[in-house]
Structure 1
Amino acid sequence: MTNLKTIILQAPFVIVEGIATRLYMPERNTLDLDILILSEDALLVYQDLERAKSRRIGNLSIPGSQWQLSDGTSLDVIESTTSWATEAIANPNYAPDGLPIIALPYLVLMKLTASRSQDLADISRMMGGTEESQLQEVRRIVQVYLPSAAEDLESLITLGKLERETDEIG
């Protein structure tokens, strides 16, 4: 995976999706790097990527674009205008290499919104090993921004805990 730190992005961002899940659960393979930015910062980010010899591949099906970095890594830049994205970008966790990673409550919210099968599996696995205080923060963020998914979240938490118990016994 590329060292994103070698590309100077002047706008704030957080790493999301598969790479971000590594901070909260056992690693899973992923073929690309995804970052979340505010839509208002898109032009600045795209100029920075071009300066770093990255090549724009095309648009995503959601607001954003796909890039190929100079080392061949695929980068998806996801743009958002939501208030939760503003909060998520302003309050990241940090990976051991210092890169900003989306905080768990916002990652769960993002994955619940997408609701792809891999996203739901990721939520379940992440929730299974999460401490109660952090689960409360996840519940709070989901209740604020996506209250219709609160019941689904509880089911995924239960499934994650059951899977973790089975792994520990087996």
Structure 2
Amino acid sequence: MPQTGGERVGVYPGTFDPITKGHADIIRRGAKLVDRLIIGVTTNMSKNPLFTPEERIAMVEREVASLELDNVSVVGFNALLMKFAEKQGATVIVRGLRAVADFEYEYQMAGMNQQLNAGIETVFLMADVSLQPIASKLVKEIAMFGGDITPFVSGPVRDDVLARIDKVGRMGDY
């Protein structure tokens, strides 16, 4: 849906495998910065996802619905981010930062994206201090070794992760 009538459209892209409380925080805050925020769920098979793209889209849609934000939608994509953003009529890419390591990677990506389309700005939001350590990769690792992921994801996401791990098998002695 291209931009219309001065509407400010933002895209918050990610793999969301699984969506965490940190992601939800960025969604909630990012939604305040734009008229319409599109959560772009990318396939990104290089990250070896636990969930299929369709499962991740459904999970993100459920979490977004629980936030009760009427200006947020969820769209799956398997394309270059800037092409996806252009197609959505976005003028802003929203990215969350947890630590210095995130900044270095995101800074490089923002520079490359600017080379591809200088008309789309990247906005960085610092994760809430209490949520900064949360990463989807770590949530999966903790769950795989039988740890409690309740502090990092919503109850329904925890249930999804545990059900999937029951199928693929746990690791280690717990």
Larger relative contact order, structure 1 or 2 (CA cutoff 8 Å, min sep 6): 2
Flag whether TM exceeds 0.5 (same fold): no
Query: Greater helix share, 1 or 2?
Result: 1
Q: How high is the TM-score relative to the length of structure 1?
A: 0.29
Q: How high is the TM-score relative to the length of structure 2?
A: 0.29
